[in-house]
Structure 1
Amino acid sequence: MISFKKFLKDIGISGVAHISNTGKNIILLPVLTKTLGAEPYGIWAQMLVTVTILMPLALLQLEYSMTRFLSAEKNQKKLRKGVYSIIIAMMISAVAFSLFIFIFANPIASSLFGGIKNTIFVQITALILFLTTLDQIIFRYFISFDQIKKYSMLLLSQNIFEIIIVSFTVLNGYGLLGAFLSLVLIRLGIFLIGVPIIKSQVSITTPSFSLLKHYIKFSLPLIPFNLSMMIMSSGDRYIIGYYLDPSAVGIYSASYILGSVLSFLYAPISTVFFPTITRLFENKDDAMQKYLTFTFKLFLMIGLPALFGIAVLSKQLLSILTTSIFVGSFIIVSIIAIGDLFFNLSNMFSNILMLFKKNNLIAFSYIISAIINITLNIYLVSLIGIIGAALSSVITYIILFSIISFFSFREIKFEWDPLFIVKCIISSSIMALVIYYLGLSGLMGILFSILLGIGIYFGFLILLKGISKNEYYLIKNIVSKKR
């Protein structure tokens, strides 16, 4: 039986690492935009989007097979064979994808990176893709085998060093090239640290092609699933770049970072969620439905106030973190945040469907949604610009959530309380109104508004009895005691 206390503590530990990830994006945003400008930042954003889209393909989605089939495996020989079969397959795939980007750097730069003059950045992107994929293999190993502390320490270290070294190179005149090479150095370092740790736990052995065939059969439908997911979350940058210019990509990307705050909040939950429910499912533990109910409630409890909060603070945040050219896009932040809520809920329900090996159904749902997203983006971006991309996202994610949640509840039902959601919305609305009418600006004003908002939200949620006594004491116990 996996305890709720450990489940929440693991979420908290990984949450610290993911806070650093969001902190990195927020800190580097003004460093890059104010020092380099909108067009270079647009190239930086295209690099990140390219890596984000292609990395899941390079992994062959075998990280899901590692979690689904090996996280509860007791046979050590099969475990060793399985781990190294997956790792070697993913490494070979990463080499192939990176070489493709490097070889076709000129046409990619011409169509997506602002011209052939930026070919060097595409070539470095190929190297960043390769190293990022290797790092992700290491991260997924630690996540699959319940080593959240090691995962969190590596991710935290990566983010801290990226903040320091990228900021140093840019602020000292090394420009965008210095920022790109900084990522290469840091991600190589993470790989060199992670490999010896894995070798000390699972001795190297030859891969098993029969096991790999079984794992690929499971993961293959997840390739179009994850590609579709990346297209929906990142593909709009390419369409903006095609119809508009790199500056528009940079402006939209800055707003997207702030609007994706809910993904940041869901990331530590998702890190722990799928491995946990997999072990419960494999062990036929009756507590699984309670974990599903608790996780759904936990995400909405923190996601809804974040949505309202980012809506009222978006303009002030953009004015602090960027230049005046970015501030006019503040409305996009709110639209993106709404879509992000449904996007992350869709991913949660997709994990549930994976337990029942409904990967073809997941892939079909995401492919249909990606087609809708691309169609809407092409039409709306060409018609009304970057706000059209934001509207395309929110419409698509609502459709996707409707499909995925419907099929998920057909496989397994768990309790969800509509009244609790209403209480969260009421508490969030009161919080947002107070922050709005206070109208505080500046860094300290925003920090005070956030802290005040947290107090108001949870105060009203407790008054409305949105949190039970058992949940209150569980959280209090976790915060006040060490593991």
Structure 2
Amino acid sequence: MPEYRKFTKDTVMVGITSILLRIKSIIFIALIAKTLGASIYGIYVTLMVTVNLLAPLSALGLTSAIIRFLAGEKDRKRIQEGYSTCLFTVFICSSFLSILVFASAPHLASTIFGNQEAVPIIQAGAFLILVQTIDKISFSFFRAFRKMFHFSILQIMVNIGEIMVCAILVLNGFDLSAIVLSFLGIKFIIFLIAFSMIFKEVGISRPKISLIKPYLKFSLPLIPHSISGKMIDTFDRYLIGYFLSSFYVGVYSVAYGIAMITNLFMGILSVVLFPTVSKLWEEKKIHELKNHFKFTLKYFLMLGIPSIFGLTVLSKEILTIMTGQESVSQSSFIVPVIATSGVFFYSIFPIFGLIFLLVKKTHYNAIILGSGVILNILLNLILIPFFQSHYNYGIMGAAIATFLTFLSIGIITVKLTRNYFKFDIDKLFILKSIIASSLMAILVYKIRVNTFPEIFIPVFIGAISYFALLFLLHAFSEKEIKFFKEIIIAIKGKLAGWQKI
């Protein structure tokens, strides 16, 4: 039970951080898309897609290796050597990649971005690859030792800093280049803070060359895994830009960003889940391990399923309010497709895929996602032009391609992982959640909103009615309800302790 409490409290802490991150994304849609226009937002999205695609490559998968090898490690010297070796290695790789992108800015602007005005923006953003990668190495250290308070505070500092600076710059007439440079500065400052905290706690040693081989043996198969995941999630933006224009990249990205709010819930859980299950696996606590998988899946679906229904009935109003453009609101039809894709994919791969990491079969992750990339590209190449020529709605083709890709990956992942490790899936709860979500959606559909603050009215009413229906349907056991009460009491006690400090 103490392990469950620790897991749940960490999840709540990370949840607060992840909610702020999602709020940041929504605010950026309003600030950049609404103030600077959909085309500029399209350039911004393409830049961030590029950075997020290349950062895992420069990290060499070592962010996961730190968690896998250092979680539970007691030897101070080994911890020093592990962190220092990983940091040094990714610093060299990410510096090289950042310089390469900087030098290639004119070519990237004329091809991928389709706009020569993007050159200074690309050059400013090139070194985001470096700072983002070294940030993640340090954040992985805190995750490995389950110091989620430190991890969350640093993430909150990044998010609040970027929101404030972006708002100030946009409202004072600065361009996208200045905004990107400000992000670079904020991330570097956060790295210095994280580095100083780690130095104070365990110290720093010289990189140990002999550690690189075992670390890379584990992490290198995760590079195509990480890149493939990013490509599936983002490569359709490139193809939309190629077949259509940067305006439609912006339109699609706004709808995609709203729809993928479902990813927020698994993002919260997965940050805490990996170090927790790694520790339980090493300690051979199989029963606890199965329960962690079972309840993580259950509670993700508890939040993910109603999100699909809620986004479906509110998508048009949300998009119109966030962008102020009726043309962008027409993309509301793709939101349910993408939201369903997200819930299905993120309820399966981040959970079931961890089994491959535990049994050290990481090549399966790479093969499955690599195949998914090929399928996704082929589907986009076929469906975007098809829907554009027949229905003048090419972005719907991209949405359907995403759905079919995620569906295929999910089915294959579940089938393969069940050969190595099995845990129970609460099918009855899923049915009850769908019933409660359907009734909630009928209620929320009748509520109309016209301003940003009003969005929270149907969200609040929907959440209250949904959970009330779950309790009426007896979706939770008495043991679960008692456990939740204990967690709430523990969190209140923790918060009271922080206030005294």
* Shorter-chain TM-score range: over 0.9
Query: Distance between the aligned counterparts of 1:258 and 1:482, measured in 2?
Result: 35
**1:356 matched to which residue of 2?**
359
Residue 77 of structure 1: how far off its partner (Å) = 2.3
Higher mean displacement: 238-247 or 77-86: 77-86
Whether the 8 Å CA contact 2:62–2:137 is kept in 1: the answer is: no
Alignment of 1:414-425 (within 5 A): 414-425=423-434
Residue 342 of structure 1: how far off its partner (Å) = 2.0
**1:429 matched to which residue of 2?**
438
Alignment of 1:26-175 (within 5 A): 26-175=26-175
Whether the 8 Å CA contact 2:121–2:180 is kept in 1: the answer is: yes
**1:15 matched to which residue of 2?**
15
After superposition, the C-alpha distances for 1:368-393 in whole angstroms (9 at most, x for unaligned) are 11110010011111222111111100
* 1:376 has 2:379 as partner: yes
Residue 159 of structure 1: how far off its partner (Å) = 0.6
Residue 111 of structure 1: how far off its partner (Å) = 0.7
State the 4+ residue runs in structure 1 displaced beyond 3 angstroms: 438-445
User: Aligned AA for 1:208?
Assistant: K
Query: Distance between the aligned counterparts of 2:185 and 2:298, measured in 1?
Result: 40
Query: Distance between the aligned counterparts of 2:363 and 2:20, measured in 1?
Result: 35
SS in 2 for 1:372: helix
Query: Distance between the aligned counterparts of 1:264 and 1:236, measured in 2?
Result: 21
After superposition, the C-alpha distances for 1:181-238 in whole angstroms (9 at most, x for unaligned) are 2212211221121111111122221222222100100111111111111110011111
After superposition, the C-alpha distances for 1:398-427 in whole angstroms (9 at most, x for unaligned) are 110101111112111111121111001001
Out of 322, 334, 347, the position equivalent to 2:336 is 334
Higher mean displacement: 254-263 or 203-212: 203-212
User: Aligned AA for 2:343?
Assistant: L
Whether the 8 Å CA contact 2:353–2:417 is kept in 1: the answer is: yes
User: Tell me, which stretches of 5 or more residues in structure 1 are unaligned?
Assistant: none
Residue 441 of structure 1: how far off its partner (Å) = 4.3
**2:313 matched to which residue of 1?**
312
Alignment of 1:266-281 (within 5 A): 266-281=266-281
TM-score normalized by the length of structure 2: 0.94
Aligned length: 483
Residue 76 of structure 1: how far off its partner (Å) = 2.5
User: Aligned AA for 1:86?
Assistant: C
- Percent of residue pairs bearing the same amino acid type: 36
**2:327 matched to which residue of 1?**
325
Whether the 8 Å CA contact 1:428–1:457 is kept in 2: the answer is: yes
Whether the 8 Å CA contact 2:322–2:452 is kept in 1: the answer is: no
TM-score normalized by the length of structure 1: 0.97
Query: Distance between the aligned counterparts of 1:366 and 1:199, measured in 2?
Result: 36
Whether the 8 Å CA contact 2:355–2:417 is kept in 1: the answer is: yes
Query: Distance between the aligned counterparts of 2:84 and 2:46, measured in 1?
Result: 32
**1:401 matched to which residue of 2?**
410
Query: Distance between the aligned counterparts of 1:234 and 1:45, measured in 2?
Result: 9
Query: Distance between the aligned counterparts of 1:410 and 1:12, measured in 2?
Result: 32
After superposition, the C-alpha distances for 1:311-366 in whole angstroms (9 at most, x for unaligned) are 11111110110022211100111111111112212122111211001111111111
Residue 475 of structure 1: how far off its partner (Å) = 1.5
* 1:208 has 2:208 as partner: yes
Whether the 8 Å CA contact 1:170–1:178 is kept in 2: the answer is: no
Query: Distance between the aligned counterparts of 1:247 and 1:358, measured in 2?
Result: 42
**1:460 matched to which residue of 2?**
469
* 1:346 has 2:349 as partner: yes
**2:187 matched to which residue of 1?**
187
